[in-house]
Amino acid sequence: MILFLDFDGVLHPDPCFDEARLFEHAPILAAALTPYADVAVVLSTAWRTQRKLTELVAPLPAGLRERVIDVTPPCVFGEAPVELLPYRRQAECVQWLRARGEEQLPWLALDDRASLFEPYCEQLILCESRVGLTEATVVRLKNALLRARHKAFLRASASA
């Protein structure tokens, strides 16, 4: 399972005028993911275009930092699915999966920008920009993780 993670509007409010509040919700996300050892994190945040991976993970708590395996590539015409080009963030997520031959891998995206995803995108767990990650969002994320786990179990059972 891959969790594509945005920073602004998720791990802290967007805009975030108080530097002390940057990544304030990261420990909440780390705790929420603790029971899900199979979840790897790929950073889809716009920060990835300005910083190296080591810089991006440095402010994250260890429980989250250890899950980060990569960043999404910039959306490239010809590499991203044409139908997703208007939905740049989703296109980048799918492009990342395709580049690794993992198109069937279950994934979710924790983001605050619905316009960067297709309408009604089932994989999107939407946060409220001005607040970031809330307890209600964590509940939606956990429910989505449980659904994905259940679907994977059913697929494995069917093929056995």
Kindly report the CATH number assigned to the domain that includes residue 40.
3.40.50
CB neighbours (10 Å) of residue 93?
Answer: 28
Q: How open is the CA angle 41-46-48, to the nearest 5 degrees? A: 60
Cβ-contact 36, 59 below 8 angstroms: no
What's residue 9's pLDDT? 98
State the residue range of the domain holding 101. 2-159
The CA distance from 64 to 24, in Å, is: 13
What's residue 155's pLDDT? 80
Task: Give 4's contacts (C-beta < 8 A, 6+ positions apart).
Answer: 41, 42, 43, 44, 72, 89, 93, 96, 107, 108, 109, 110, 111
Cβ-contact 143, 122 below 8 angstroms: no
Structure-token match 């409220």, residue found: 128
Q: Has this prediction a pTM greater than 0.85?
A: yes
Sign of CA dihedral 102, 107, 110, 115: positive
What's residue 134's pLDDT? 97
Instruction: Provide φ and ψ at 127, rounded to 5°.
Output: -105, 160
Structure-token match 């991976």, residue found: 53
Domain count, the chain: 1
Q: Mapping DSSP to helix (H, G, I), strand (E, B) and coil, where does residue 151 land?
A: helix
Per-residue pLDDT of the chain (160 residues; tens, 9 = 90+): 999 999 999 999 999 999 999 999 999 999 999 999 999 999 999 999 999 999 999 999 999 999 999 999 987 767 767 788 889 999 999 999 999 999 889 999 999 999 999 999 999 999 999 999 999 999 999 999 999 888 887 887 887 7
What's residue 37's pLDDT? 95
pLDDT digits (tens, 9 = 90+) for 73-117: 987 767 767 788 889 999 999 999 999 999 889 999 999 999 999
